[in-house]
């Protein structure tokens, strides 16, 4: 059996989720699909977790600047505790996002989507879906770098999952 929808949204980051909910609330039949956990790059692998880790570094730097001016003692990063703090934020995000979609009347699907025709998409484990409209909201991913030594780099996703804080860090790129 082939499902038929008004809208298929590929990508479960903030843009895709917001569009899916708005269209469902307007009466459209909508499904949202992603092969990665719901929440997208910003909430799970970039913006939000990065801000939490940066806040720890800023707190240490502020304490160092106040040394001898009212602050005393060594302040340092407790990487495992900081990572646990980040995970306490990021771990519930996929289920929260998926629940919000379901409550809005959006069908949440997990798997890789492949277009098979102008109005059809096949999703791993869910078969083929016919749609009237499609929104591709797959977000961003780090661009591989091509220069000598690049093989020694890790991307932001890998950095945000390091079990131990490296002794030294160099950031390459900006975004």
Note the residue count of the chain.
Answer: 175
| pLDDT tens digits for range 43-94 | 998 888 989 888 988 998 998 888 888 888 888 889 999 999 999 999 999 9
- Write the CB contacts of 53 (distance below 8 Å, at least 6 apart in sequence): 82, 86, 160
Q: What is the pLDDT of residue 1?
A: 42
Q: Who wins on pLDDT, 146 or 24?
A: 24
Residue 66 lies in a domain: yes
CATH number of the domain bearing residue 99: 3.50.50.60
Residue 125 lies in a domain: yes
Structural domain harbouring 120: 3-141
| pLDDT tens digits for range 115-167 | 999 999 999 988 999 999 999 999 877 788 899 988 888 888 888 889 998 88
Kindly tell me the burial class for residue 146, based on how many C-beta atoms sit within 10 Å of its own C-beta (0-12, 13-18, 19 or more): exposed
| pLDDT tens digits for range 44-53 | 988 889 898 8
Residue 91 lies in a domain: yes
Residue 154 lies in a domain: no
Nearest 5°: phi and psi at 111?
150, 175
pTM comes to 0.83
Nearest to 56 by CA among 78, 33, 87, 24: 78
Q: DSSP letter string over 81-120? A: HHHHHHHHHHTTHHHHHHHHHHHTTEEEEES-EEEEETTE
Residue 105 lies in a domain: yes
Task: State which H helix or E strand residue 6 sits in.
Answer: strand 3-10
Residue 170 lies in a domain: no
Number of compact structural domains in the chain: 1
Residue 149 lies in a domain: no
Residue 174 lies in a domain: no
Q: What is the pLDDT of residue 2?
A: 62
Query: In angstroms, rounded to a whole number, what is the distance separating the alpha carbons of residues 125 and 38?
Result: 17
């Amino acid at each position: 059996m082939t499902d038929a929808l008004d809208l298929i949204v590929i990508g479960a980051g903030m843009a895709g989720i917001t569009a899916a909910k708005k269209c469902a609330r307007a009466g459209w039949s909508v499904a949202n699909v992603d092969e990665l956990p719901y929440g997208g790059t910003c909430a799970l692998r970039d913006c939000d977790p990065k801000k939490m880790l940066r806040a720890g570094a800023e707190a240490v730097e502020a304490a160092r600047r106040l040394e001898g001016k009212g602050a005393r003692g060594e302040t340092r990063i407790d990487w495992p505790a900081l990572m646990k703090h980040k995970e306490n934020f990021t771990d519930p995000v996929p289920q929260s996002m998926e629940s919000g979609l379901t409550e809005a009347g959006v069908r949440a699907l997990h798997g890789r989507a492949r277009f098979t025709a102008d109005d059809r998409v096949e999703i791993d484990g869910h078969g083929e879906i016919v749609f009237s409209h499609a929104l591709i909201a797959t977000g961003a991913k780090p661009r591989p770098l091509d220069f000598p030594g690049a093989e020694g780099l890790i991307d932001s996703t890998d950095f945000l999952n390091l079990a131990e804080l490296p002794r030294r860090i160099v950031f390459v790129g900006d975004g």
